Homo-oligomer: A and B are copies of this chain.
Amino acid sequence: MLILLRPDVTAPQQAAIEALVKSHGLVPHVIPGAARTAIGITGNRGALEPGRYQSLPGVADVIAVSQPYKLVSREWKPDDTVVTVRGVPIGGQRITVMAGPCSVESTEQIHEAGRGVLRAGAHMLRGGAFKPRTSPYEFQGLKEEGLRLLAEVRAETGLPIVTEVKDTETLALVAEYADLLQIGARNMQNFSLLEAVGDLRTPVLLKRGMSATLKELLMAAEYIVSRGNPNVILCERGIRTFETMTRNTFDINAIPMLKERSHLPVIADPSHGVGVRSAVGPVALAAIAAGADGVIIEVHPRPSEALSDGQQSLDVAQFGLVMGRLARVAEAVGRSV
């Protein structure tokens, strides 16, 4: 439930409202907004009686929040959330571009990638150090060595780092290096990991599970936010369907639907979303046209030598071309890169 306060509410009125909520065994969350302040209520197991709060001094309105998610909803917080990652704002007027290889593979590879994507105009560097792989016999990443290499490139280029955390055991280590913690698709409903990153304040890039509904994605974000970490960025990365010509089916509908239902920033991952190099650029443009707040793109200095995801990685020159087109489409929808 959400209590909307009047613009002229006084501090004592607001304090009294919060106290009443607590006296009912519930938790009040103050949500300041541009135009008005609201108080969200959590902790109830069923529906609440709005009449309890409707007529209190300072209350403009009380609205039920019908969705099973609350803190991440637009009803709860009408204004867009902007998450700042080491100085880079995500979710505002400007489109954010994250780029880099699927996996950190070597000193040379990641430095080359970092310099390349910086030169092409990227705002952040991506790269996996701990890789969840379908087979136990595949390359599992350089682990801590990979994180150190990412930090080296950050020191050189100034690009903030986004990298995946795959379990709670390595979370503390990854969080030492990462500016933005990526939760992968397979972990979207790893609730223990969601709670653990919810206890931090490091921003989180939460990827949609490969067969998760949008409602489930929002619920997963709710796990993180309800633990106290408001810095969540949603990521559409394609869902699993019957189509086999592409690796996944990028759900373009998810972009406007998530933006409408939630105040959180939404990023698109066209690389996994289509999984075919020649189509990555077009899908990236589509996501921006549909209202995404940014893209995350796999770029490798030499895709044909990549240890993972080579078939969907752009080389630096191809990425540069996509950047140019992204800038034009961003401008067409009133934004910039």
The residues of B that contact A55 with a CB separation of less than 8 Å are none
Which of B166, B167, B333 is A325 in contact with, Cβ under 8 Å?
B333
Decide if B285 touches A333 in the complex (CB within 8 Å). Answer: yes
The residues of B that contact A167 with a CB separation of less than 8 Å are 168, 190-193
Q: Which A residues, 219 to 265, have Cβ-Cβ distances below 8 Å to chain B?
A: 219, 222-223, 226-227, 239-246, 249-253, 255-257, 260
| Cβ of A287 under 8 Å from chain B | yes
**Residue contacts A-B, CB under 8 angstroms, 18 given:** A135-B219, A136-B226, A137-B226, A167-B192, A168-B168, A186-B190, A213-B244, A239-B242, A242-B242, A243-B253, A250-B252, A250-B253, A252-B252, A256-B274, A256-B283, A257-B279, A289-B329, A329-B333
Decide if B276 touches A257 in the complex (CB within 8 Å). Answer: yes
Nearest-Cβ distance from residue A225 to partner chain B, whole angstroms: 9
Also in contact, A223 and B168, with CB within 8 A (given A249-B239, A279-B253, A282-B255): no
Nearest-Cβ distance from residue A190 to partner chain B, whole angstroms: 6
| Cβ of A328 under 8 Å from chain B | yes
| Cβ of A60 under 8 Å from chain B | no
Q: Which A residues, 301 to 325, have Cβ-Cβ distances below 8 Å to chain B?
A: 325
Decide if A256 touches B241 in the complex (CB within 8 Å). Answer: no
Which of B136, B166, B192, B256 is A282 in contact with, Cβ under 8 Å?
B256
Q: Sorted from nearest, which 9 A-B pairs have the closest CB atoms?
A: A211-B211, A167-B192, A289-B289, A286-B286, A332-B332, A252-B252, A285-B289, A256-B282, A256-B279
| Cβ of A14 under 8 Å from chain B | no
**Bound Cα distance A219, B136 (Å):** 8
**Bound Cα distance A241, B278 (Å):** 24
| Cβ of A81 under 8 Å from chain B | no
